[in-house]
Amino acid sequence: MKGATLLVTLIETLLGLGHEISAFSTDPALEPSRHNRVVARGHRFTMYYVPRRRHAMRSDRGARGRMLDFFALERHALADAIRQECPEIVHAHWSYEFGAAALDSGLPCVLTCHDSPWAILKVQRDLYRVGRLLMAKSVLRRARHATVVSPYLVEALQGMTRAPLSVVPNPLPGGLIESGRVRRAPDLAARAPRIAMLLNGWSPRKNPEPGLLAMKHIRAVYPQAEMHLYGPGYGPAEQAWTWTVAQKMENAFVFHGWTPYTETMKQLAGMDLLLHPALEESFGMTIAEAMALGVPVVAGRDSGAVPWVLGADSGGGALVDVRSPRKIAEAVLKLLENPECYVRCSERGRARASEVFSPAAVAQSYLEHYQQVLAHSDRVPAHATGEVSA
């Protein structure tokens, strides 16, 4: 979703530990020229923006689509900016144009992989995803030091790289963890249940339809139950609304659509349960966020990293076949109607989020990786000691 905070959290944590940070990103508002960039400098923090073409295949302001040359303009512009800043070490997030640019800079580099291009291509079969797969394969072949955000990605990517893959999960904002609490089961005799579904787009991979259809079964038991929908594609007159109108069940839903992150988390804290029907996740930030807030989760038992994030042994919720609306509904009702199970899931989810996904723990893991990379590097810029590029 827009406003995702994992890199902001990591940067803030490293700054709090006294490090200097330079961050590099792309912006479609900038004219597509390799040498066009915007730089903002603050206390121990510098932000670089370089152009990103707005279209994958179609031309954009005189430049061809970005996938037609495998993001060449973006890669070159990022690499130029990184060389100009010359940090001690570069930490590249995502194994595509950012990973390629970091490697092209020639500086010591840690690559963090956030997804499996093969898994995404299986459920989103188009030329763009083929191009992304080819980009990732090139980056992973070149990488010497790499981390992944879940054990699922170790298995998914180990055949694509010779670099050892270490697991360092995504960090949750510290304030989110602190604001959470262990919850009691809702009093369903006093009010109807409130269920949240937060998905980043309407796509086969996100698998929204079975989750929406589960409300037919839930409403057969609790006629006033509501499902609150968040994310692009889930607002009034967007894809989810159109689909539910065709199913004649739109009255079961509240269509929030894209909502700022802080407001989304505030509203999620007021829900009884999170339903996450995605077929594949390389991590699942929404699940971890719900756990931090103490909100039990129903998610896919075969959905990539989801069981690991939720904690199959520690039990932050229920794992089900998310292709089946009936099984989703059964898991939701079982959690809501069993107070002991509900509280146990809330407690264990909170504990796992605090212990495994805290910003301090994640930042410390990355710092250890930086030290290992620099210890084996024959190039350490003398004037950039203590700087990290994200």
pLDDT digits over 377-389, tens only?
A: 875 443 333 455 6
Q: What is the pLDDT of residues 241-251, one digit of tens each?
A: 999 999 999 99
> CA nearest 81: which of 125, 35, 43?
35
State how far the Cα of 79 lies from the Cα of 328, in Å rounded to an integer: 46
pTM beyond cutoff 0.75: yes
Q: What is the pLDDT of residues 182-212, one digit of tens each?
A: 999 999 999 999 999 999 999 999 999 999 9
Element housing 48 (H / E): strand 45-51
Q: What is the structure's pLDDT at 112?
A: 98
Backbone Cα Rg of the chain: 22
Query: What is the residue-averaged pLDDT of the chain?
Result: 94
> CA nearest 277: which of 341, 342, 232, 331?
331
Q: Which residue has the tokens 């994958």?
A: 56
- For 304, which DSSP code? B
- 228 pLDDT higher than 50: yes
Q: What is the pLDDT of residues 136-154, one digit of tens each?
A: 999 999 999 999 999 999 9
Contact between residue 360 and residue 133 where contact means Cβ atoms under 8 Å apart: no
Residue type, position 94, single letter = W
Average pLDDT over residues 76-101: 97
Q: What is the structure's pLDDT at 390?
A: 61
Domains of the chain from N-terminus onward: 6-171+358-389 (3.40.50.2000), 174-356 (3.40.50.2000)
Q: What is the structure's pLDDT at 1?
A: 37
Strands (E), 105-257: 109-113, 146-148, 165-167, 194-198, 226-230, 253-257
- Encoded tokens for 56: 């994958």
Q: Are strands 297-300 and 273-276 parallel, antiparallel or unpaired?
A: parallel
Percentage of the chain beyond pLDDT 90 is 91
Average pLDDT over residues 61-84: 97
Q: Is 60 left (phi over 0), alpha (psi -120 to 50) or beta?
A: beta
- 74 pLDDT higher than 50: yes
Q: What is the structure's pLDDT at 17?
A: 96
Element housing 41 (H / E): strand 38-42
Q: What is the structure's pLDDT at 376?
A: 84
Q: Is 257 left (phi over 0), alpha (psi -120 to 50) or beta?
A: left
Q: Angle CA(151)–CA(153)–CA(155) in degrees, nearest 5?
A: 80
Average pLDDT over residues 352-359: 95
Residue type, position 163, single letter = A
Q: What is the pLDDT of residues 313-346, one digit of tens each?
A: 768 999 999 999 999 999 999 999 999 999 999 9
DSSP track, 249-298: -GGGEEEEES--HHHHHHHHTT-SEEEE--S-BSS-HHHHHHHHHT--EE
Q: What is the pLDDT of residues 151-186, one digit of tens each?
A: 999 999 988 999 999 999 999 998 999 999 999 999
State how far the Cα of 188 lies from the Cα of 332, in Å rounded to an integer: 13
216, exposed or middle or buried, with CB in 10 Å at 0-12, 13-18, 19+?
Answer: middle
- 134 pLDDT higher than 90: yes
Q: What is the structure's pLDDT at 314?
A: 61
